[in-house]
């Protein structure tokens, strides 16, 4: 009977896929779990594996777009399974003679493939776990283990990178690791990422050489369908294919290191772009053809002499999300920015006076962020619209202050949240900032630690910024930008004096915050910082 192979569900938001490369041909004899083809969705690439042994009949061609549940091929098992063996025997009866195999070799060759699976070993499928309500896909950042490695229970296999945080994937059992998805691939939640063969350690290792003689024998039959490296030899992953296209390298010339010989992203990055560079000299060849721009001929010469190399890197999930959200904020909010300046002398004098005793008592330094956080919390109580947000056609006002602090990391900008900052002391705020910043730089922040803020503070002054217009951290309605402190000449009581001045910038959503409120809020923050004693008396 024929087994109808259909497009499997690959994610909640994915309704259709595109048929990628077929690794098997019409009429090929396939085995259970053989990879038949690749399926491309708008988020990731998946492999379709055979559900039975038998003869493959392809229904959809490469490039066809099919909905989830549509038939893509059939596998004729049952009586057709033995048919290929006698059909293959006459062909092999000629070829195996010079080789050291006998005509019935194909039949026993197929047995070792199934033997290791059935000799007491079980396979545990490792799937992408749910890492948060708003996270629908993750990218494999790096593998800590290699394909075929022996892994222990709870041993870290790889790092998964979402648009908000990085997670570690531990092994669910001890056994032999079989990697399904390569580093750099983006997978939806619940997608198969790896398999672990549990039990019968010797047969599992023996299963590795077993497929090789099987692959070598059919290689004399159909070298185009089964290369020496396996079913996917010289077939690039989507990320690798893009890189190879940009380099102008033929995938058939690249030796793949992935499963079945598949060309991975790393293989593509290592591939020599030699064919691409000779393509540039033809430009000077084309220029002499035009007699008029003869003077422009010398121009390419110095360009070629200098270094003009380019390199491309795929955007991480975090970077893609940052880009998408920032553009969305600019397009979906009525964002304005108001500025003011604050004399930091009072804060600096107070900090210099007590910073040593503060650190000795609390074990943490006294920085400017705690002053700004407390000042913002006081001002937010006076102007609740700045602490509010829009939800549809409603305004949501918060009677608490969850202050988001922007932290720069190697992966990009993350914004952990200080919960109920209005109830915290200076020491508690400083300790929380240090703790969250450390987690951010170690990529250990959880999604809960980065969601739910009501107002954001960003300090570009640490990098030397004098003035900027920060972008709102949606769905919040305002963000305060701090800048560097510079000694400037100012007039106080009719006299010119030198004071440490910082420019402040408040970007806000004009849909919910009026100009009067935004300016008054920033003036309130200025008053508190220039006279910190106001925080003691709530004035």
Q: Say what percent of the chain tops pLDDT 70.
A: 76
56: in domain: no
- Judged against a pLDDT cut of 80, whether residue 414 lies above it is answered with yes
Asked if the structure places residue 406 within a domain, the reply is yes
- The whole-angstrom separation of Cα 409 and Cα 338 is 27
Report whether pLDDT(105) > 60.
no
Q: Which two tokens stand for residue 189?
A: 């939640």
Residue-level length of the chain: 539
Q: Where are the alpha helices (DSSP H) in 333-460?
A: 345-362, 368-382, 426-441
Range with the poorest average pLDDT among 224-238, 262-276, 306-320, 502-516 = 224-238
* pTM of the complete model: 0.51
Name which of 99-113, 184-198, 338-352 the model is least confident about: 99-113
- Look at residue 221 in the predicted model and tell me its pLDDT: 39
Top-confidence range, 253-262, 285-294, 432-441, 502-511: 502-511
pLDDT band with cut points at 50, 70 and 90 for residue 97: very low
Determine, yes or no, domain membership for 350: yes
CATH of the domain at 426: 3.30.559.10
DSSP 72: E
Query: How much is the pLDDT for 257?
Result: 75
H or E stretch including 106? helix 106-118
Does 328 or 297 have the greater pLDDT score? Answer: 328
**pLDDT given at position 347:** 95
Give the mean pLDDT of the chain. 79
Of 399, 510, 531, 538, the catalytic one is 510
pLDDT, tens only, 156-204: 899 888 776 777 889 988 899 999 998 888 888 889 999 999 874 434 3
Domain membership of residue 503 as a residue range: 318-537
Instruction: Tell me whether residue 122 is in a domain.
Output: no
Residue 500 token pair: 């440490």
Q: What's the whole-number mean pLDDT along residues 326-352?
A: 93
Reported as type and span, the H/E element at residue 336 is strand 335-343
Gap between the Cα atoms of 533 and 524, Å rounded: 13
Give the pLDDT score at 234.
Answer: 66
Share of the chain above pLDDT 90, in %: 36
The per-residue pLDDT for 436 is 93
pLDDT band with cut points at 50, 70 and 90 for residue 121: low
Q: What is the mean pLDDT of residues 457-461?
A: 93
Report the C-alpha dihedral over residues 291, 292, 293, 297, rounded to 10 degrees. Answer: 30
The CA radius of gyration of the chain, in Å to the nearest whole number, is 32
d(CA 186, CA 45): 8
447 pLDDT more than 80: yes
pLDDT for res 297: 52
Please indicate, yes or no, if residue 499 is contained in any of the structural domains.
Answer: yes
Residue with tokens 């990628």: 20
Which of 267, 514, 531, 538 does the annotation list as catalytic?
A: 514
Residue with more model confidence, 256 or 64: 64
* Res 2 pLDDT > 50: yes
81 in a structural domain: no
Q: Which neighbouring-strand residues pair with 168?
A: 159
Tell me what the mean pLDDT of segment 137-155 comes to. 88
Confidence at residue 63, expressed as pLDDT on a 0 to 100 scale: 83
Structural domain includes residue 202: no
User: Could you tell me if residue 462 is inside a domain?
Assistant: yes
Task: Identify whether 514 is a catalytic site residue.
Answer: yes
- Looking at the structure of the chain, the number of domains it has is 1
CA distances from 289 to 191, 298, 303 (A): 56, 14, 20
> Rounded distance, CA 415 to CA 408, Å?
9
57 is catalytic: no
């Amino acid at each position: 009977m024929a087994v109808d192979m259909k497009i499997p569900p690959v994610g909640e938001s994915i309704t259709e896929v595109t048929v990628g490369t077929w690794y098997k041909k019409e009429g090929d004899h396939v085995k259970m779990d053989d990879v038949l083809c690749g399926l491309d969705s708008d988020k990731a690439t998946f492999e379709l594996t055979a559900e039975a042994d038998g003869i493959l009949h392809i229904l959809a061609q490469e490039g066809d777009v099919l909905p989830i549940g549509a038939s893509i091929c059939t596998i004729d098992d049952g009586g057709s399974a033995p048919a290929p063996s006698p059909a293959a025997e006459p062909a092999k009866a000629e070829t195996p003679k010079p080789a050291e195999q006998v005509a019935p070799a194909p039949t026993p060759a197929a047995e070792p493939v199934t033997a290791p699976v059935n000799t007491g070993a079980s396979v545990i499928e490792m799937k992408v776990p749910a890492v948060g309500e708003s996270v629908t896909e993750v990218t494999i950042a790096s593998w800590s283990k290699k394909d075929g490695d022996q892994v222990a229970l709870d041993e870290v296999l790889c790092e998964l990178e979402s648009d908000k945080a990085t997670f570690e994937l531990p092994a669910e059992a001890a056994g032999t690791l079989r990697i399904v998805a390569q580093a750099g691939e983006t997978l939806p939640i619940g997608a198969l990422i790896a398999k672990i063969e549990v039990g019968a350690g010797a047969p599992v290792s023996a299963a590795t050489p077993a497929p090789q003689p099987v692959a070598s024998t059919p290689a004399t039959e159909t070298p185009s369908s089964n290369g020496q490296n396996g079913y996917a030899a010289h077939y690039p992953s989507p990320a690798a294919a893009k890189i190879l296209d940009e380099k102008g390298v033929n995938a058939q010339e690249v030796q793949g290191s992935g499963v079945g010989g598949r060309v991975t992203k790393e293989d593509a990055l290592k591939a020599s772009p030699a064919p691409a560079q000779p393509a540039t000299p033809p430009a000077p060849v084309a220029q002499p053809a035009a007699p008029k721009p003869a003077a422009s001929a010398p121009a390419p010469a110095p360009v070629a002499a200098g270094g003009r190399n380019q390199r491309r890197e795929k955007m991480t999930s975090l970077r893609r999300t940052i880009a998408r959200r920032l553009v969305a904020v600019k397009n979906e909010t009525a964002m304005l920015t108001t500025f003011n300046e604050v004399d930091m002398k009072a804060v600096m004098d107070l900090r210099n006076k007590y910073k040593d005793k503060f650190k000795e008592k609390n074990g943490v330094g006294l920085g400017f962020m705690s002053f700004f956080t407390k000042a913002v919390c006081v001002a937010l109580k006076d102007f609740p619209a700045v602490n509010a947000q829009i939800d549809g056609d409603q305004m949501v006002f918060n009677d608490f202050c969850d202050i988001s602090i922007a932290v720069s990391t190697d992966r990009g900008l993350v914004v952990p949240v200080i919960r109920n900052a209005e109830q915290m002391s200076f020491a508690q705020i400083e300790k929380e900032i240090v703790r969250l910043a450390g987690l951010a730089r170690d990529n250990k922040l959880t999604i809960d630690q980065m969601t739910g803020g009501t107002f954001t503070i960003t300090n570009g002054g640490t990098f030397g910024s004098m003035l900027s217009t920060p972008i709102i951290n949606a769905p919040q309605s305002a963000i305060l930008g701090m800048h560097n402190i510079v000694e400037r000449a100012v007039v106080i009581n009719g006299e010119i004096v030198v004071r440490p001045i910082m420019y402040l910038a408040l970007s806000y959503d004009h849909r919910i915050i009026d100009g009067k409120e935004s300016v008054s809020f920033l003036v309130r923050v200025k008053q508190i910082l220039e006279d910190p004693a106001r925080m003691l008396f709530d004035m």
